[in-house]
Amino acid sequence: MSAFSVHVGAAFLIPSGTQQNPSEKHMFVVCTDLDNNGVAVLASISSWKNNLCDGTCKLDPGCHPFVRKPSYVLYRKSRIEHGDILLRGLERAVFIPLDDVKPELLEQIKDGLLKSKQTPWQVKRYLKNNN
């Protein structure tokens, strides 16, 4: 039995490195319950760089222990992911568990999934069909 669980509000770091920075990881938040097929929607958090960033959901430092500088939800990197993949990543320490996000923050993130023009259409369709 796994010590980890995939549940709404869970947060963890997932590798997202580039050739210039291969060890980089981004925070992801589980935004939906696992459905009957074992999948959930994840949203990515990134540091605010400039006004070209998606302003749908800006995050202040301290809104989560991992968020130490101005950040935002990178809705264009939102995705539908299978829970088994997430659990395997956590069990193998490829993904790093973080504290769950607070309910208020979770609601802000979830609200923006349908509002942002950058959320992938597959994620929007999934959300509309599974609510």
CB atoms near residue 39 (< 10 Å): 20
Of the candidates 22, 34, 59, the one whose C-alpha atom is nearest the C-alpha of residue 44 is 59
List of the chain residues with pLDDT < 70: 1-3
Instruction: Give the integer Cα–Cα distance in Å for 74 and 43.
Output: 7
pLDDT score at 124: 96
Let me know: does 65 contact 98? Beta carbons within 8 Å: yes
pLDDT in tens, 22-59: 778 899 999 999 999 999 999 999 999 888 899 999 99
CB atoms near residue 49 (< 10 Å): 10
pLDDT score at 40: 96
Hey, what amino acid is at 63?
C
pLDDT score at 4: 74
pLDDT score at 1: 41
